[in-house]
Homo-oligomer: A and B are copies of this chain.
């Protein structure tokens, strides 16, 4: 057996604590798998006095996380989080010092993945991030090492457990977004500041990584239009059911000719398709690997054990000497993503208009849609209560999203249309 692999861990929160626990409790099991022992030789976390898991034991402590880069470690595990600051400093320093790095930091990689990958490959070290993309689901490894014989044409998924939990609860209870969010915060399923989750930013970080692996492009947050879920109403969810669908927040990346269309947005997914049935805090990914067909992966998207599972697998891979390019292909070969022009992005869409209950409103809406060549496949009009606004909802035939947005702008300007119309694309699940 080779000498033990030396690991240094920065960040001892939920995930870091879980990783330490697994490394200690499953020491011999992991050694059998890795072909060598794995020793945690150094840890670092913001607050030294905080009560920690027993697993920290007598492991030496560094006050400055950046100093892990100068330690004897073979692998630096960065679980600090955040796109900049201490996390970025440590990862850059560690790679420059010729150390392998394992991280679960989606934000850092979504912003700086291409340059960090280039640095790692230049230094001949490994940078791994299974825990960054969909919790415990081994989708990074699958895209990097398994689904490589045929071109992946699309990858999409439910990548944020908080949003999926909220949407699932809204459907189950019929209650509005804000109520369910407040509950989720009380129960610890949502952060005190939930912006990154419910605004879709976290999903976009993960999507940028999956798109890079799938299409050989640089992670590129700047080219991902992002829409969150806070505008979704219980009415939308109920209407979705009437149309045989569920609303899910999806990260979507697909090849359109030589362009890549990347988006984060709520989508209507038909009941009975895999993504529609993903409930609660679970994550799931569909990867359409050309002739090899669609693949579907589902699992827990966050939390101690799922993320620790991903991080530990990365560490064992490094112990075994497994080295693949960070994003599957050499970093120097990653192309800048060419976003798909808006007019070629097409699908059927769900539209909701809240309107005054007056004659001619429907005709007005229908006329504007027709002018933009948006044609209606099915429609429901329903009053909520006498005197209250009426909801007109419809599913269109396939149409250019740009054309719909154009029509909605004109329609929204009408005095008889209340608030912004809601548009949710249909998406194969």
Query: Which A residues form the contact surface with B (CB < 8 A)?
Result: 22, 26, 29-30, 32-33, 35, 130, 136-138, 141-142, 145-150, 272, 274, 277, 284, 289-300, 304-306, 308-310, 312-313, 316-317, 320-325, 328-330, 333
Contacts and interface: CB of A to CB of B under 8 A. Distances in A.
A292 B316 contact: no
**Residue from A138, A145, A149, A321 whose CB has the most chain B CB atoms within 10 Å:** A149
Contacts of A145: 138, 141, 313, 316-317
- Which 8 interchain pairs have the tightest Cβ spacing? A138-B146, A291-B305, A149-B312, A296-B298, A292-B309, A293-B300, A149-B309, A295-B299
A271 to B, nearest CB: 10
Contacts of A324: 33, 320, 322
B322 A33 contact: no
A40 to B, nearest CB: 14
Contacts of A323: 320-321
A304 to B, nearest CB: 8
A104 to B, nearest CB: 13
Contacts of A141: 138, 141-142, 145-146
B306 A293 contact: yes
A317 B148 CA distance: 11
Contacts of A277: 272, 274, 277
Contact of A32 (B33, B313, B333): B333
A289 B309 contact: yes
Contacts of A22: 149-150
A22 B292 CA distance: 12
Nearest to A137: B295
B299 A148 contact: no
A218 to B, nearest CB: 15
B313 A293 contact: no
